[in-house]
Amino acid sequence: MSNPTSAKSDISPGLKTYKGSCQCGAVRFEVDFDPSQGTTRCNCTVCTKTQWWGINVKPNAFRLLSGKEVLGDYSKSEASHSRFCKVCGLRSFGHGNIPELGGEYYAVNAHCLDGANLAGIKVTYLDGLHDTWAELASRPYVDPFSTGARA
């Protein structure tokens, strides 16, 4: 029986460009990030209900390649904008300015990266539900659908 915690990522540490898209492909983007910096999951109602898994980067590390004309904007405040495709409805990225998260940022939904295996990448769980952004836990990601995670 294989050990799911031993799953290896095919992403090596170091800054690299990743391509991503919404489900229908109308919205396409590139993001530069170093997987060793980790990812985040938030417990607020929006992130929980949409299964958001964030890769936070500075604005210059994100490039929208196509789909500007089909982007919708769901915002609870001026501090954070969740962008979604009006064709398929998928929330693939967001942007804003939250001082507790380091100021201006872009956040990409890791589930929207095309072909990236993120098994083993650190996930930091944050308390956005209460607007504290406190770290609740930190664990390596185990892909439940990978061959190595099956019994």
Q: Where are the domains of the chain?
A: 18-132
Burial of 53 (0-12, 13-18, 19+ CB in 10 A): buried
Q: 76 or 48: whose pLDDT is higher?
A: 48
In the chain, what is the straight-line distance between the N-terminal and C-terminal CA atoms, in Å?
6
Neighbours of 99 (CB within 10 A): 9
| pTM of the full structure | 0.81
> What's the pLDDT band for 147 if we cut at 50, 70, 90?
low
User: With respect to CATH, is domain 18-132 assigned 2.170.150.70?
Assistant: yes
In degrees, to the nearest 5, what angle opens at C-alpha 110 toward C-alphas 38 and 53? 75
> What's the pLDDT band for 20 if we cut at 50, 70, 90?
very high
